């Protein structure tokens, strides 16, 4: 998969997830307070998560900020994947999903695999350089 395709996928993912949280803020707030996290963390996360997702998508749109967007995407995916892993390892008594769209229909195991794939794609996009950067100048 090309770097541009990975970036387009990440833009779609984070723009969709971030804006869907903004447009259904009351529902997202309710699901955050239903998560197995301390309630004092829910309020800051309600603001932080969608802002971070939309920021990642926005940064990915421009060459000048793409690297920042890729690292922010990587950070978000790592955090979400760790949360899913904690759920699968039964760290929490209850495991409500605050995901939207197609992710709502995935099992936790499927969600983990999707996240791991997205993590791999993001790592590839971060490390991938144009082929021309491997060629020495012809003198």
Exposure pattern of 35-67 as b/e (b: 16+ CB <10 Å)?
beeeeeebeebbeebbebbbbbbbbbeeeeebe
- Domain residue limits, the chain: 3-128
Rounded to 5 degrees, φ, ψ at 59 are -65, -35
Q: Can you tell me the distance from the alpha carbon of 116 to that of 113, in angstroms, rounded to the nearest whole number?
A: 5
pLDDT of 99? 64
90: left (phi over 0), alpha (psi -120 to 50) or beta: left
Place of tokens 């003198």: 139
Retrieve residue 52's tokens: 């971070």
Confidence of residue 134 (pLDDT cuts 50, 70, 90): very low
pLDDT in tens, 79-131: 999 999 998 998 887 776 666 666 777 888 999 999 999 999 999 999 976 54
Would you call 85 exposed, middle or buried from its count of C-beta atoms within 10 A (0-12, 13-18, 19+)?
middle
pLDDT in tens, 15-73: 999 999 999 999 989 988 988 888 899 999 999 999 999 999 999 999 999 999 999 99
């Amino acid at each position: 998969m090309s770097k541009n395709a990975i970036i387009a996928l990440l833009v779609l993912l984070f723009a969709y997830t971030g804006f869907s949280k903004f447009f259904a803020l009351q529902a997202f707030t309710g699901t955050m307070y239903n998560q197995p996290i301390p309630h004092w963390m829910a309020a800051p996360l309600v603001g932080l998560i969608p802002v971070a997702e939309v920021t990642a998508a926005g940064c990915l749109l421009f060459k000048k900020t793409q690297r920042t967007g890729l690292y922010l995407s990587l950070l978000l995916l790592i955090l979400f994947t760790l949360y899913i892993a904690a759920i699968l390892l039964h760290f929490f008594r209850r495991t409500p999903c605050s995901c939207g769209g197609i992710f709502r229909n995935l099992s936790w195991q499927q969600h983990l695999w999707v996240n791991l794939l997205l993590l791999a794609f993001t790592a590839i996009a971060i490390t991938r350089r144009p082929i021309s950067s491997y060629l020495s100048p012809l003198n």
